[in-house]
Amino acid sequence: MSITAGVGVVGRGAPGRMHGIPYAGNREISLLAAEQPGAIRLEIGQPSFPTPPHVLDAVREELGAGHFGYTPTQGSSELREHLAAKLARVNGVRVDPASELTIAPGGVGALAAILAALTRPGDEVLVPDPAWPNYLLMTATTATTAVRYPCPAASGFEPDVEALESLVTPRTRVLVVNNPNNPTGAVYDAATLAALLDVAARHDLWVVSDECYDQIDLCGSYRSLLGMDGDGRVVAAFTFSKTYAMAGWRIGYAAGPARVIDAVVKVLEACSSCVTSVSQRAAEAALTGPQECVSAMVEEYRQRAELACDLLGGAGLLVAKPLGAFYVMADISQAGMGSRDFALELLAERSVAVAPGAAFGPSCDGYVRISLASPAADLREGIARTVDFVHGRR
Ligand code: PLP
């Protein structure tokens, strides 16, 4: 008998609450693009750079030594010491590496564990519109309800703090903030961050601050919300995926008040025991080795952002200039179709994959997201074909 044949036969019904919850909306395009040889891939936030050589050297050494045991769930104490130094240097935050920090399987693992640690079933979680779609999957796994707060294009995709506050109810428990932002490239003004903290304080909310793009700061305007927190209500997630082009190594970390980190570690212990020890060694090498690779990659992203803005702006499709992360939104509303249909047709007819705006929230169905993590030549050709496709449908 096949595995699927048994489901339903003995009346167990649908497999739990994830049944029927949709996958992230850009996954459909990615899967199709992967099967289309020669497709230009502008839909995914996968750095085009290899992992820096000093990281690979350290890992080769580690492999030679042959030690592959468990580490503590929280991560090796050496790596946590280096991370505490990084948080002080880059983010302006002082944390105790023994109690206020944990390693996690990627930024996504850190965020999922933080949300599981902070919420109770039935709680409401304030999630930006638009937002990285995985937050919605996380609210589904925690049996909480996502309530979307607007970050309008007309204000450079900064949160509308007044509108956000009007959405707070007695059930609201967590405010999710993502800065620098995927999918918009926004980097929030310090006054906006202060206003968000103020709302959280007045309504006694936890703040989950996704700072996974902290070092992809194209204009030098990023400030850490964790660093601005005066009363222990912010828990932040970070990653090696973007800064060091280490997406496949699956390593990130969470920092925040000790009692929250303690609960986060329990969730991680339930799910993953520890992050792969080789990846922890790689992360240590990334932090302690030369950092010029980071500035070189950021400089390349800055140039790609300029290129994309010139091409989209010249064609009248630019929505807002990205200040951080590596994404730009293109306005495809002139094409007269929804963003999912647009992305499917663009892929089928012009062999270019872009992420449909609707995947990030209801406010963005007139846009598609273009990833600046893709090489400049792909951006030039992919954007030219996208512009031509939009103009051809006017
Ligand atoms: N947060 C945001 C906003 C992201 O865009 C991503 C990845 O694309 C992540 C978190 C998590 O990245 P990872 O799990 O690779 O560290």
Q: For residue 210, which atom of ligand 1 is closest to its CA?
A: 1
Alpha carbon distance 114, 235 (integer Å):
7
- Which one-letter amino acid corresponds to residue 18? M
Q: Which among 184, 212, 275 is the best mutation to test ligand 1's pocket, defined by most ligand atoms within 8 Å of the CB?
A: 212
Q: What is the pLDDT of residue 290?
A: 96
pLDDT of residue 102: 98
**Which pLDDT band holds residue 19 (cuts at 50, 70, 90)?**
confident
What does the DSSP 8-state code read for residue 329? E
Name the pLDDT band for 10 (thresholds 50, 70, 90). Answer: low
pLDDT of 7 strictly over 60 = no
Tens of pLDDT, residue by residue over 157-211, are: 999 999 999 999 999 999 999 999 999 999 999 999 999 999 999 999 999 999 9
How confident is the model over 307-325, as pLDDT tens digits?
Answer: 999 999 999 999 999 999 9
302 CB burial (10 A radius; 0-12, 13-18, 19+):
middle
Taking the C-alpha atoms of residue 8 and residue 90, their distance in angstroms, rounded to an integer, is: 53
Q: Which pLDDT does position 14 carry in this prediction?
A: 75
Closest CA to 196 of 154, 169, 240, 226: 226
The ligand 1 atom at the shortest distance from the C-alpha of residue 240 is 16
**CA of residue 135 to ligand 1 center, whole Å:** 10
Q: Ligand 1 site: residues with CB under 6 angstroms?
A: 45, 106-108, 132, 178, 182, 210, 212, 239, 241, 247, 252
Mean pLDDT of 360-383: 97
Ligand 1 pocket test, candidate residues 26, 135, 182, 208, most atoms within 8 A of CB = 182
- C-beta of residue 209 within 8 angstroms of C-beta of residue 220: no
Report pLDDT digits (tens) over 119-158. Answer: 999 999 999 999 999 999 999 999 999 999 999 999 999 9
The predicted structure's pLDDT at residue 223 = 98
Closest CA to 213 of 229, 197, 237: 237
The pLDDT of residue 82: 98
pLDDT the model gives residue 17:
83
**Does the pLDDT of residue 9 top 70, yes or no?**
no
* Ligand 1 centroid distance, CA of 10 (Å): 39
pLDDT at res. 22: 84
Q: What pLDDT does residue 356 have?
A: 98
Average pLDDT over residues 42-47: 94
Amino acid 257: pLDDT: 98
pTM listed for this prediction: 0.96
